Amino acid sequence: MDRATLFDRLDEELRTDAYADVDASPNGLQVGSREGELERVAFAVDAAEATIEAAVEAGADVLVAHHGLVWGGIERVTGRELGRIAPLIRNDVALYVSHLPLDGHPTLGNAAGLADLLDLAARESFGEVGPETAGLLGERDEPIRVGTLAELLADELDTGGEGVQTLAFGPEEVERVAVLTGSGVDWIDEAVDAGADALLTGEGKQQVYHEAREAGINVLLAGHYATETFGVRSLQALVEDWGVETTYVDHPTGL
């Protein structure tokens, strides 16, 4: 397969253009050329020196990442930016990024992966970002105690040994769950309005304690990295189905 075909197929599957005006991350090809053939694609949650170096060592022609290098623009390619971009260019490794499109994809996305883990059915879009969404809302056939839910997440996710922080201010039995991975606590009001018993996300902010307590909703913080491995793993499987050799670069942060 050539690079342009890979990028075009990913853009179409992820609806990259639909998020162009609502995502701080410019999704799609961020670094490198569309020209040339490819033999191996690496996948990682974060594009950083460690994961870029690992992709180079693995002989990848393309690195697909959830968190890219550009958030609203780069003024100078020096320091940290140079340390990340230079090895990509030096080794002719293209960087393809999918941020919010990969969060909200109904089957391949990060929220979809967590919804699968929790056996959530009757799924709906959740987490409005302009006209698009970045999460999912679903229901369990059988309610689960909030403590048991936290244990399940801690057992199944790579939290770096940090466990799952739980703000247990909602029903003890959880049935309806809103999922918005990464940094999703700003959508707590939307979760309450949707009748969710719990909001599952990655990381919290100080004010979410009181917001959850006053709203009577459970909030589970399972780690930004840990909740966002599902999307790139799903893309890896998809690209393998397209006949391309792949590798996964796992670099958990514990955050």
224 marked among binding-site residues:
yes
| Phi and psi, residue 25, nearest 5° | -90, 125
Sequence-distant (6+) residues with CB within 8 A of 174 are 140, 143, 144, 145, 146, 149, 197, 198, 218
For 186, how many CA atoms within 13 A lie in the half-sphere containing its CB? 6
Where would I find the H helices in the chain? 3-14, 49-57, 79-90, 100-104, 110-117, 146-156, 188-193, 208-215, 230-241
Contact 106, 112 (CB under 8 A): yes
Burial class (CB in 10 A: 0-12, 13-18, 19+), 27: buried
Contact 218, 164 (CB under 8 A): no
User: Is the sign of the CA dihedral 179, 184, 189, 190 positive or negative?
Assistant: negative
66 marked among binding-site residues:
yes
Please enumerate, by residue number, every residue annotated as part of a binding site. Answer: 66-67, 103, 224, 228
Please enumerate, by residue number, every residue annotated as part of a binding site for a divalent metal cation. Answer: 66-67, 103, 224, 228
